[in-house]
Amino acid sequence: MQTKPTRVRYLIVLMLFAASAFSYGDRVALSIAGISISRDLHLNALKLGYLFSGFSWAYVAGQLPAGGLLDRYGSKRVYGVSIICWSLLALLVGFAGYFPAAIAFTVIFLLRLLSGFAQSPVFPGNGRIVASWFPAAERGTASAIFNASQYFALVLFAPIMGWIAHVSGWKECFWFLGALGFVLAFLWKKVIHGVKSHPRINQLEIDHIERGGGLTNIDLKEGTAQQRPANQLTWSAIRMLLGNRMLVGIYLGQYCITTLTWFFLTWFPVYLSEARHMSIVKVGIMAALPALCGSVGGILGGVASDRLLHAGHSLTFARKLPIVAGMLLAVTMLGCNYTNVQWLVMLLLSFAFFGKGFGALGWTVIADTSPKSLIGINGGLFNLIGNLAGITTPIVIGYIVKQTGSFNGALIFVVATALMAIVAYLPIVGEIKRVDLKLPEPEGGAA
């Protein structure tokens, strides 16, 4: 008889970290390759900004359908199909480089649209799995771990992509990622299961998760009647979520924080190349340094939040303090506008990256606050609004750079949104608590 609980949930969050890192790796590939693509396809800053934004148009549009699919068919199945699809599309982006420049731009843009749609279940799925597998007191750390993947993706993939692009060309970057994606899909199938259907878990761990508020029944074993609930993706459900002031504040805060994310994922390598005059190989290496700080900051932010909770502080204080402190630290990037010393620029950007990671607790807050029957849909709506920044940020920065010939205004824009995140979380969000919504009977019309 087993006397100690298993720790399968740690394996689950490690798998979420790996899957999310590969998802972000797909986005990092375009930002590193964008230096070569803009030269090969004769793109100015604004056109490159539109290409960077292509992913997010469909990623945003897919959030609510993805949330509905996750709630209806379960995280393992929907997420697994997502991995296969985005890996195939990465391979196709590489082949699109053989078209003439004008056609190649259009084809790559369309493939990035499809990739965005394919990856739309990733973070709603992460939030849903964490809400299922982790008690409330561990969610901050768990969410911070998978959220830190966005920085680790730069640490891991930026040097690799920079080297591949230098040695072979930008097409090979996407072929490399696509091939690895199919390996990831195989591992996902082996590792991920519902809490109560996982072959390696014991009852003691299940009891520990349930006592702490883990929602262990949202993904029951395949084949049970409960696996396919009535469709909750209705306009009335969305209206109820958007009618809650706390949730709206969280959505707005996520948009502001995600603006910083998309600056680092898209224009940051180009900034190092054009404004700081680094070679593509050096860009890959130097981009990894601030990203490593962001990865460490992301994990420490979740740990700090959970420790504040363990120390007896309120859920509101424990979640808001790291967010506000992190956004204030992110403001340090503004100092880059006032120095030409390369090591100081990298130091300031490393501080900013650390702060952005430390304050990125949005998915933890969503796991804490989502109505139990709408976890997937609320996660989808949260990610939809947050990732509108994936559309606006590349285009706005591209416009600023094209009009001014400088990245100074771009950094001011990014810093302003960090300050707006503080406004969203302090006066707008108020007390952080789980929302209790009583849904009417489905209206028959899906959103």
In order along its 447 residues, the chain shows pLDDT tens digits of 567 888 888 898 899 999 998 888 887 788 777 778 888 888 777 888 888 888 888 888 887 788 778 877 888 889 999 999 999 999 999 898 788 877 888 898 899 999 999 998 988 888 888 888 888 778 777 877 877 787 788 778 878 888 888 888 888 889 998 999 999 999 999 988 888 888 888 888 888 888 877 777 766 544 344 444 444 556 777 788 888 899 999 999 999 999 998 898 788 888 888 888 877 677 777 777 888 888 888 888 888 998 998 888 998 999 999 999 999 999 999 999 998 888 898 999 999 989 998 998 887 888 788 887 677 678 778 888 888 998 889 889 988 988 888 889 999 999 999 999 999 999 899 888 887 766 555 444 433
DSSP 424: I
By residue range, what is the domain housing residue 137?
8-428
Query: What pLDDT is attached to residue 317?
Result: 92
For residue 146, tell me if it sits in a domain.
yes
Domain count, the chain: 1
Asked, for residue 443, whether it belongs to a domain, the answer is: no
How far are the Cα atoms of 66, 87, 239 from residue 245, in angstroms, in the given order?
24, 38, 12
CB atoms within 10 A of CB 23: 25
Tokens for 145, please give them. 């771990």
Closest CA to 334 of 415, 433, 258: 415
Q: Examine residue 3 and state whether it is found in any structural domain, yes or no.
A: no
Q: Is residue 206 included in any domain, yes or no?
A: yes
- Residue 401 in any domain: the answer is yes
The answer to the question of residue 440 being in a domain is: no
Q: Where are the alpha helices (DSSP H) in 97-217?
A: 101-118, 122-133, 136-147, 149-167, 170-191, 203-211
**Domain presence at residue 415:** yes
Q: Give residues with Cβ within 8 angstroms of 217, minimum separation 6.
A: 196, 226
CATH of the domain at 35: 1.20.1250.20
Query: With b meaning 16 or more CB within 10 Å and e meaning fewer, what string describes 256-290?
Result: bbbbbbbbbbbbbbbbbbbbbebebebbbebbbbb
Predicted TM-score (pTM) above 0.75: no
C-alpha–C-alpha distance, residues 376 and 370, integer Å: 9
> Is the residue at 441 inside a domain?
no
Helices (H), 119-148: 122-133, 136-147
